[in-house]
Amino acid sequence: MDSGTQTLARYKMFIGGQWVDSASGQTFESENPFSSETWALIPRGNAEDVDRACKAAHKALTTGDWPKLTATQRGALLRKLGDILATKAKALAEIEVRDNGKLIAEMAAQCAYVPQWYYYFGGLCDKIEGAVIPIDKPQTFNYTRHEPVGVVACIVPWNSPLLLATWKLAPALAAGNTVVIKPSEFTSASTLEFMKAFEEAGFPPGVVNVVTGFGADVASLATHPLVAKVAFTGSDATGARIYSDAAKSLKRVSLELGGKSPNIVFDDANIENAVKGVISGIFAATGQTCIAGSRLLVQRSIHDQFVEKLVALGKTARMGDPMSYDTQVGPVTTRPQYQKVLDYIDIAKKEGCVTVLGGGKATRPECGKGWFVEPTVFTGVRNAMRIAQEEVFGPVLSVIPFADEEEAIAIGNDVVYGLAAGVWTQDMRRSLLMAEKLQAGTVWINTYRAVSYLSPFGGYKRSGIGRESGQEMIKEYMQTKSVWISTATEVPNPFVLR
Ligand code: NAD
């Protein structure tokens, strides 16, 4: 990044180990959601830049130092990267806040956690073992090798740019692949800054590349002949498009998509904890998380009491400058998303929902010119309503009553998504039943929003394909080769399949 002639930061793309402008020379503006002002200029990539990056990644995959590294050396490099990132965590968090408006308290913790993925997958590099198979044919030796798939395109959204890129990058690199990252056009700066850590760690040129720009301009990333796998996180609409584009050349695809997760509170729950868990599930990160607990299913017998406590705590949320550690709810990250959240609030009102908290733009003085929406809670919601079925991706909670376990399961599962679910109960039998019956890739009991490099994450149904984090998923970035060696002195009948 250079400081521009005005006060704008000017970034370059990172391709083949070089900092470069876009092939067209064009740039686009990145805005700060709190000040609503442009703060950076980002290169506007197109198909030519995609081609340059894919060629650089392919060259690094097939020639140079990267394929020569042993798995142990690759692991050491990833762990070195983790150490460097740990020293840069605060600076990276500040860029994220400026670019996407998430709270410094959350981003500082998130950026400090990111190195763990590089330590973990760095450690895993040399523990991916093939097998010697006791094959059923005489004088024959058979074994397997797990090899990288090739060039991986990592396409990520704006809500947690570095964490979500890392969930793909760490295993992809640990498996020996090379990568082209495409960050969101709304939050590209932190990913470009992130590349300095790769340079400092000494990754060979082309192992990691970044192409910035708008989705439509760089759509060739999902179809480029040198790309072997597309690892995508984003909306289900874009995910479906990329899945279909990538299918034309039969690429591997993993998709981490949206959600409409139920947070289910039973009458035997620790109510104070459940209230905090529900608030955290929907208002943390201004509701802009794929795992947002955007449907509160509350047992009818405690509905009124629970909503009262929820609203009382929700009212205390401090809004304002995301760079302040005291702020609890920040702005919405993008202008279009701000409008989308406000539109959904109108839709809910027109559907006949009752606004018991918030319900529109936040006009508090501490919100300045930022894109703020009041933390909003609707009661009187039926699960068939749009507000209960569609992903808002904002601080908007729909409260839906239920009678018993059976109804909670039925309503909880009655959406196209299946990313996550929360359950609040002190009954062990009920916990296990809910964990079994809820159709979601993650179920939290008496907690919410916990993720780790150690545990698989991904969606059921329309929330995605594949998993991220955890030991097993590294295989999603590898392909298995079966090697046959004959120890016979003579080839038997050549006309018969052995
Ligand atoms: P989006 O789908 O609009 O964009 C995601 C990325 O895809 C962006 O980088 C965008 O530029 C790129 N893109 C768009 N069209 C493309 C194309 N044709 N070819 C290549 N790239 C293209 O999503 P968003 O608005 O940035 O993010 C919000 C969405 O992400 C929400 O739906 C949310 O639930 C989802 N999300 C999912 C997870 C998860 O792990 N399941 C995590 C975070 C966010």
Q: Which two tokens stand for residue 357?
A: 């908290």
**21-70, pLDDT tens digit by residue?**
999 999 999 999 999 999 999 999 999 999 999 999 999 999 999 999 99
262-445 has which CATH code? Answer: 3.40.309.10
Is the domain covering 2-257+463-482 a CATH 3.20.20.140 domain? Answer: no
For residue 454, report the distance from its CA to the centre of ligand 1, in Å.
24
290 as an active site residue: the answer is yes
Nearest CA to ligand 1 atom 20: 219
Average per-residue pLDDT for the chain: 96
181: phi then psi, degrees, rounded to nearest 5: -100, 140
- How many CA atoms does the CB half-sphere of 58 hold within 13 Å? 12
Confidence check: pLDDT of 3 > 50: no
Q: Assess whether pLDDT exceeds 50 at residue 240.
A: yes
pLDDT of residue 492: 80
According to the model, what pLDDT value does residue 6 have?
57
Helix (H, G, I), strand (E, B) or coil at 420: strand
**Cα 296-401-264 angle, rounded to 5 deg:** 40
Given this model, what pLDDT does residue 1 score?
Answer: 54
Å from CA of 184 to ligand 1 middle:
7
Token code pair at residue 306: 């629970």
Q: What is the mean pLDDT of residues 85-95?
A: 97
pLDDT for residue 15 is more than 90:
yes
| Candidate from 230, 251, 290 with most ligand 1 atoms within 8 A of CB, to mutate | 290
> Distance (Å, rounded) from C-alpha 434 to C-alpha 79?
38
pTM: 0.95
Ligand 1 site residues (CB inside 6 A) read 155-159, 164, 182, 184-185, 215, 218-219, 221-222, 233-235, 238, 241-242, 256-259, 290, 391, 393, 419, 459, 464
Residue limits of CATH 3.40.309.10 in the chain = 262-445
- Ligand 1 closest atom vs CA 463: 41
- Report phi then psi at 362, rounded to 5: -90, 125
CA distance 214 to 273: 42
User: In the prediction, which pLDDT does 495 show?
Assistant: 86
- Structure tokens that stand for 284 in this block: 């943390």
Res. 7 pLDDT band, cuts 50 70 90: confident
User: What own/partner pairs with CB < 8 Å and gap ≥ 24 does 163-169 have?
Assistant: 163/110, 163/113, 163/114, 164/233, 164/256, 165/191, 165/194, 166/114, 166/117, 166/118, 167/117, 167/233, 167/256, 167/457, 167/468, 167/469, 168/231, 168/233, 168/468, 169/117, 169/208
Question: What is the predicted pLDDT for the residue at 491?
Answer: 86
Cα of 156 vs centre of ligand 1, distance in Å, is 6
Cβ neighbour number for residue 405 with a 10 Å cutoff: 18
Q: Determine what percent of the chain is predicted with pLDDT higher than 90.
A: 97
> Do 449 and 434 contact (CB within 8 A), yes or no?
no
- Does the pLDDT at position 5 exceed 50? no
Choice among 6-10, 263-267, 309-313 with the minimum mean pLDDT? 6-10
pLDDT-derived band at 4, boundaries 50, 70, 90: very low
Choice among 2-16, 251-265, 291-305 with the minimum mean pLDDT: 2-16
Helices 161-174 & 189-201 angle (0-180, nearest 10): 40
**Residues 244-264: what's their mean pLDDT?**
97
Task: Tell me whether residue 256 is one of the annotated catalytic residues.
Answer: yes
pLDDT in the model for residue 496: 82
Q: Which of 111, 125, 290, 367 is catalytic?
A: 290
Kindly report, residue by residue over 411-438, the tens digit of the pLDDT.
999 999 999 999 999 999 999 999 999 9
Q: Which of 94, 48, 60 is nearest to 209 (CA)?
A: 60
Which residues share a beta bridge with 397? Answer: 377
Predicted local distance difference test score (pLDDT) of residue 494: 83
pLDDT category at 267 given cuts 50, 70, 90 is very high
Region(s) of the chain under CATH 3.40.605.10: 2-257+463-482
Q: What angle do CA 31, 35, 40 make, to 5 degrees?
A: 30
Residue type, 404: D
Those residues with Cβ within 8 angstroms of residue 493's Cβ, 6 or more apart along the chain or in another chain: none
Give the neighbor-by-neighbor strand order of the sheet with 227-233. 18-20, 13-15, 208-210, 178-182, 151-155, 227-233, 252-256, 464-465
Q: Taking a C-beta distance cutoff of 8 angstroms, is the pair 73, 66 a contact?
A: no
Distance 155 CA to ligand 1 centre (A): 7
